[in-house]
Structure 1
Amino acid sequence: MKIAFLILAHKNPRQLQLLLNALQHPAFHFYIHIDKKVNAEPFQYLSSQFSNVSFIKKRAKIYWAAFGTIQATLNGFNEIPLDNYDYVNVISAQDFPLRPADEIYEYILKRKGTEFITCESIEDEWPVAPRVKKYHLINWRIPGKYRLGNFLTHILPQRKFPVDHTIVGRANWFTLTTKAIKYSLSFLKENPAVIRYYKYCWGADEFIFSTILYNSSFKTNIAENLVYVKWSADTTIAHPQILTIDDFNELINSSKLFARKFDMESDSLILKKLEEYIGIAEATV
Structure 2
Amino acid sequence: MMVAHFILAHAYPDQLCRLVNRLSYSNTVFFVHVDLKSNIHDFELALANNPNVHFIQNRVDIQWATYSMVEATINGFKEIVTSGLNIDYVNLLSAQDYPIQSSKNFHTFLSDNPGKAFMHCLDVETEWTEAISRVKEYHFNHWNFPGKFKIQNLINFILPNRKMPEGLIPVGRSQWFTVTLKHIVFLVKRIESSPHIVKFFRYSWAPDELIFQTLLYNSSFKEDIVGNNLRYIDWSEGQKNPKLLTKVDFNSFMQSGKFFARKFTPNDEVLDMIDEAIK
Q: TM-score, normalised by structure 1?
A: 0.93
CA–CA distance in structure 2, aligned partners of residues 151 and 27 of structure 1 = 53
Aligned residue number for residue 41 of structure 1: 41
Aligned residue number for residue 167 of structure 1: 170
Once the 2 structures are TM-superposed, how far is the Cα of residue 119 of structure 1 from its aligned partner?
0.2
Once the 2 structures are TM-superposed, how far is the Cα of residue 3 of structure 1 from its aligned partner?
1.0
- Contact residue 61 and residue 68 of structure 1 kept, 8 A: yes
Once the 2 structures are TM-superposed, how far is the Cα of residue 83 of structure 1 from its aligned partner?
5.5
Deviations 1:77-121 (A, max 9, x none): 111126620111111000000101111111111111110111001
CA–CA distance in structure 2, aligned partners of residues 27 and 121 of structure 1 = 35
Calculate the aligned-residue CA RMSD, in Å: 1.3
Question: Paired residue for 2:231, among 223, 227, 233?
Answer: 227
Matches within 5 A, 1:1-285: 1-80=1-80, 81=83, 84-127=86-129, 128-223=131-226, 224-234=228-238, 237-264=239-266, 268-279=268-279
What secondary structure does 1:172 align onto?
A: coil
The unaligned stretches of length 5 or more in structure 1 are 280-285
Deviations 1:116-155 (A, max 9, x none): 1110011221111101110101111234333321211111
The unaligned stretches of length 5 or more in structure 2 are none
CA–CA distance in structure 2, aligned partners of residues 83 and 154 of structure 1 = 50
Deviations 1:192-242 (A, max 9, x none): 1000100000000000010011111111111111111100343xx211111
CA–CA distance in structure 2, aligned partners of residues 82 and 213 of structure 1 = 23
Once the 2 structures are TM-superposed, how far is the Cα of residue 45 of structure 1 from its aligned partner?
1.7
CA–CA distance in structure 1, aligned partners of residues 204 and 176 of structure 2 = 18
Deviations 1:220-266 (A, max 9, x none): 111111111100343xx21111111101000110121001011126x
- Contact residue 17 and residue 47 of structure 2 kept, 8 A: no
After superposing the two structures, state which structure 1 stretch, 81-90 or 174-183, moved more: 81-90
User: Which runs of structure 1 show a deviation greater than 6 angstroms over 4 or more consecutive aligned residues?
Assistant: none
Once the 2 structures are TM-superposed, how far is the Cα of residue 75 of structure 1 from its aligned partner?
0.5
- Contact residue 47 and residue 54 of structure 1 kept, 8 A: no
CA–CA distance in structure 1, aligned partners of residues 245 and 85 of structure 2 = 36
CA–CA distance in structure 2, aligned partners of residues 105 and 197 of structure 1 = 36
CA–CA distance in structure 2, aligned partners of residues 83 and 54 of structure 1 = 12
Identity of aligned residues (%): 40
CA–CA distance in structure 2, aligned partners of residues 45 and 240 of structure 1 = 30
CA–CA distance in structure 1, aligned partners of residues 231 and 149 of structure 2 = 31
Aligned length, in residue pairs: 275
Q: Structure 1 82/203 Cα, relative in aligned 2: closer, same or farther at 3 Å?
A: farther
CA–CA distance in structure 2, aligned partners of residues 190 and 33 of structure 1 = 23
Deviations 1:251-283 (A, max 9, x none): 110121001011126xx101111111112xxxx
